[in-house]
Amino acid sequence: MTTHKLLIANRGEIAIRIARAAAAMGIPSVALYSEDDRDALHVRKADAAVALPGTGPRAYLDIAAVVDAARRAGCGMVHPGYGFLSENADFAQACLDAGLVFAGPAPDVLRLFGDKARARALAREHGVPVVPGTAGPTSPEQARAFFTSLDGQAGMMIKALAGGGGRGMRAVHRAAAIDEAYARCVSEASAAFGNGAVYVERIVAAPRHIEIQVVADAEGRVLTLGERECSLQRRHQKLVEIAPSPSLDDALRARLADAAGTLARAAAYRGIGTFEFLVEDGGAGGPSFWFMEANPRLQVEHTVTEMVTGVDLVQTQLAIAAGARLADLGLEQAPAPRGIAVQLRINAEHLDAQGQLRPASGTLTAFEPPNGPGVRVDSAGFAGMTANPRFDSLLAKLIVHEPGGDYARALAIAYRALCEFRIEGIDTNRRLLQDLLQLDDVRGNAVHTQYLDQALAALATADADHPVLHAPPALADSAQADADQALADIPDDAIAVPAPMDGALAAIHVREGDTVRRGQPLAIIEAMKMEHPL
């Protein structure tokens, strides 16, 4: 493996994860940071750091600036992490044009899987089932026509053709809601991926979300490293991930792995990637599954696959990018899974009394992760860190491993680790996760992709006590007093309209003198890469 320097074109916990993998391989790493990320932890975890012009996500999305930073720092390889430019074919091509090795698939493969219509067409061509939907960029009129054609079925999903992570995605159950959902999807997709094109597909009622981890080298050898179940989601964003799935039988597991391998070979895939499927229980006829999308990059939840296979996916990714074959890496065949692993995403957010999750901000006054056998925490948090609402709300990933394969025991280990995790100064979803792990349905894995959204309202009013297995909380700060003072300072002739979260004011829909009605959206707030009507 070459030891030239590695540029990490990302931030936060994944940048730290990549820097550690590079260090283990003897590769010096260089971090990037925007002007408002100067004090972020990933800047100090790499061997060197380079500033990007600008602030917020746009700084990390500036292809020319990132490539220039790599060349100025003397780097020979670029790792994009996940999000940002990780699936951007133009970025991959710009790296290659600049003589840089891109730690990911070739640009043409990124273009293929970055266009969900083309990816779905590839699946159909090779006999892999897909959910019925439109075949390419879809207009509002075409979306309405497709909804009408469903004739009272569960409804439809509007999805961005590029990107993922729940952005640019909305479920529609009523014809009257199509136009607003379409507009939000287009706007979010344009902001997140630079491409506002969307398509629509039929909603699959109460499916499981199963994804297959693939590793492939430049010689066309493809290996699948088992599956992850990601059915516990809110607003199509994953919250809990498990490897292997506690609910798949060996026959279905083999069919899914075969489908993923078929698509990887058909696309001449190289590197690591994930092929995602929806699985629906089929009663006496057996379960059905549909290919959903491919993520040609490192996944947030790659950790659980690492825990049960012993394969370091980031090191594998770097080695393949440098020309290693699977045989060179001892990956002629997939290792048998060792036990079961669970990942919990701890986000800076608040669950309100109506069951709505809102992004939270503030400064961490205490941050003490749990540890011990089978416990891993990937995070960029530290006491004194101020959460930046312009970036993703992910604060930490708590991963536990139960070597005996007992899912209930794994959840018990995860629950205790949550109780040990001390986080103060910023609201998080830790309590929600604690409540969730106590539910019989979750303990029995009797869940589906809509389960958590349906359960949030009840969880918002849950009053269960959880053990406090960490140092006593710090004294309350003056944040509430500051908020009260701000409200007291408004002019006498003004009416305060409190925002449900911190964020940027993206649009105002009313003007002075307008008459407004109850429930009418007044403005759009952009926070944590999502748009929220006010």
- What's the whole-number mean pLDDT along residues 492-514? 83
Question: Using one digit for the tens of pLDDT, what is the confidence trace for 154-183?
Answer: 899 999 988 676 789 999 999 999 999 999
Do residues 45 and 13 lie in contact, with contact meaning Cβ atoms separated by under 8 Å? no
Span 276-306, pLDDT tens digits: 999 998 765 667 999 999 999 999 999 999 9
Provide the pLDDT for residue 487: 66
R_g of the chain computed on alpha carbons: 23
Provide the whole-model pTM: 0.87
pLDDT in tens, 183-192: 999 999 998 8
Please determine, looking at this structure, whether the domain spanning 208-460 carries the CATH number 3.30.470.20: yes
Kindly indicate the confidence band of residue 205, based on its pLDDT and cuts at 50, 70 and 90: confident
Check pLDDT > 70 for residue 514: yes
Mean pLDDT of the chain: 93
Residue of 410, 419, 472, 474 lying closest to 442 (CA atoms): 410
The tens digit of pLDDT for each residue in 97-108 reads 999 999 999 999
Q: Is there a contact between 169 and 157 (Cβ–Cβ < 8 Å)?
A: yes
Instruction: Enumerate the domain spans of the chain.
Output: 5-103, 132-202, 208-460, 487-533
> Regarding the domain delimited by 132-202, which CATH topology (the fold level of the hierarchy) does it fall under?
Dna Ligase; domain 1 (3.30.1490)
Tokens of 137: 């960029």
Say what the pLDDT of residue 477 is: 47
* Selected residue with higher pLDDT from 109 and 136: 109
Q: Is the pLDDT of residue 131 over 50?
A: yes
Q: Is the pLDDT at 469 greater than 90, yes or no?
A: yes
CATH hierarchy code of domain 5-103 = 3.40.50.20
Pick the more confident residue, 165 or 307. Answer: 307
Q: Is the pLDDT of residue 504 over 90?
A: no
Task: Give the burial string for 124-152 (b: 16+ CB within 10 Å, else e).
Answer: eeeebebbebbeeebeeeebbebbeeeee
State phi, psi for 2 to the nearest 5 degrees. Answer: -65, 150
Q: Residue 346's pLDDT is what?
A: 98
In the predicted model, what is the mean pLDDT of residues 467-489?
68
Query: Which pLDDT value is given to residue 478?
Result: 52
pLDDT value at 409 more than 90? yes
Q: Which residues contact residue 52 at a Cβ distance below 8 angstroms, ignoring those fewer than 6 apart?
A: 32, 33, 34, 35, 59, 60, 62, 65, 66, 69
What per-residue confidence (pLDDT) applies to 476? 44
Q: Does 5-103 match 132-202 in CATH topology? A: no
Return all residues near 32 (Cβ < 8 A) that are at least 6 apart: 7, 8, 9, 10, 11, 49, 50, 51, 52, 60, 66, 69
Q: Is the pLDDT of residue 356 over 90?
A: no
The backbone torsions φ and ψ at residue 27, rounded to the nearest 5 degrees and listed phi first, read -105, 120
Q: What angle do CA 167, 168, 170 make, to 5 degrees?
A: 100
Q: Which residues on adjacent β-strands are paired with residue 386?
A: 363
